[in-house]
Structure formats: structure tokens, C-alpha cells
């Protein structure tokens, strides 16, 4: 498994079934969801290491779940 260093940004795309892209934003609701469409800044994530790994938004690194609930195998 490849774990990218901080500062490398990526989009989380559901290639297997839907091709929907995960996005995260502060407003309007929903704050975290997915859609099938063009690229936007709110779709860029990076890995942040603070003892364990968590995903964070490129824009503000606002986390929508405590890092202990995130796993590298499944992103929510």
C-alpha cells in the first residue's frame, strides 16, 4: 500500500461502481457527500499524520470525523 506524504493532494473517486467523487465543504449542507461531475477545489484531500492518519480538506483541514474513526481502507 502506498501512503503519500503530507502536501500531496488527491481526489477520492469510487472507480468500482459509481465514479462519484467525495467532497467536503463548510456550507451549504451537506458538508460531506459525493457527486458525479467536474473537478472542484472542495474535492482535494491530503493525509495528515498526528500519531495516526486522517484525511483533511485542502482548504482548511477541517475534519468531519475524529481521526480514530477514519481508516485507510474505507473513507466516509
Residue 52 is predicted with a pLDDT of 60
- Check residue 8 and give its pLDDT: 82
Residue 43, SS3 per DSSP? helix
Q: Domain locations in the chain?
A: 1-76
Task: Render pLDDT for 14-25 as a digit per residue (tens, 0 to 9).
Answer: 777 777 887 777
Rounded Cα gap, residues 70 and 73, in angstroms: 9
Per-residue confidence (pLDDT) for residue 51, from 0 to 100: 61
Please, what CATH class does the domain formed by 1-76 belong to? Answer: mainly beta
Residue ranges of the chain whose pLDDT lies below 50: 61-76
State residue 5's pLDDT score: 76
Amino acid at each position: 500500500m502506498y501512503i503519500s506524504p503530507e502536501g500531496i493532494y488527491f481526489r477520492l473517486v469510487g472507480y468500482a461502481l459509481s465514479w462519484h467523487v467525495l467532497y467536503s465543504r463548510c456550507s451549504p449542507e451537506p458538508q460531506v457527500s459525493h457527486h458525479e461531475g467536474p473537478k472542484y477545489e472542495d474535492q482535494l484531500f491530503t493525509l495528515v499524520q498526528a500519531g495516526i492518519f486522517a484525511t483533511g480538506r485542502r482548504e482548511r483541514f477541517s475534519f468531519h470525523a475524529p481521526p480514530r474513526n477514519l481508516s485507510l481502507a474505507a473513507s466516509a
